[in-house]
Amino acid sequence: MAKSEHNVISGNDLLGGHVVYWTAQETWSADMGQAVVLSAQDAANELNLANTTQNETVGAEINPVDASSAIPKPTKRRDAIRLNGPSPEVMVFLPDTAPAAIAAE
């Protein structure tokens, strides 16, 4: 079970492979802004539901987030890279140009 107070559920789209997030409407979206933020207990329960959609999405997992702003921010580097793309594409090492989710770490 997730330990974080705030969490989202992510997976990979079956057809495209891209990262998608579980929404409050119990669907998947590529937009983190649509992700539903869940407590640890709720995330565990919702994960079971999310896993029933394996013909849409593969590898559903719980990711901790910082929910203090309108769009949740991943708190783990790996999850931030999944959200924003590989470093060579987003210049993660350069704080001035890094996407907000990474620069805030």
Partner 1 sequence: MYHYNDFDTQAVRDRVDQFRAQVDRRISGALTEDEFKPLRLMNGLYLQLHAYMLRVAIPYGTLNGRQMRQLAMIGDRWDRGYGHFTTRQNIQFNWPKLKDVPDMLDALADVGMHAIQTSGNTIRNVTSDQFAGAAADELMDPRPVAELLRQWSTDHPEFQYLPRKFKIAVTGSPNDRAVTKAHDIGLRMVEQDGATGVEVIIGGGLGRTPMIGQVVRDFLALEDLLPYVEAIVSVYNQLGRRDNKYKARIKITVHENGLDTMRDLIEARFAEIKPGFTGIDQDVLADITAQFAAPTWVTSDTAAFDAAYATNPVFRSWCDTNLTDHKNPDYAIVTVSVKKHGAVPGDATGDQMRALADIAEDFAHDELRISHSQNVVLPHVPKAHLFKVWQALRDADLATANIGLVSDIIACPGMDYCALATARSIPVAQQISSRFEDLKAEHDIGPLQIKISGCINACGHHHVAHIGILGLDRAGVESYQITLGGDATESAAIGQRAGPGFSADEIVPAIERLVMGFLDLKETPDEDFLTAYRRLGAKPFQDLLYPKDRTAA
Interaction pattern, residues 42-61, with partner 1; x per rule: CB under 8 A: ------------xx--xx--
CB-nearer residue toward partner 1: 8 or 92: 92
Per DSSP, the three-state class of 56 is coil
Q: Which of 3, 16, 25, 48 binds partner 1 (CB under 8 A)?
A: 16
Residue 45 in 3-state DSSP? Answer: helix
Q: How buried is 53 (Cβ within 10 angstroms: 0-12 exposed, 13-18 middle, 19+ buried)?
A: middle
Contact residues for partner 1, defined by CB under 8 A: 12, 14-19, 54-55, 58-59, 75-78, 81-82, 85-88, 92-93
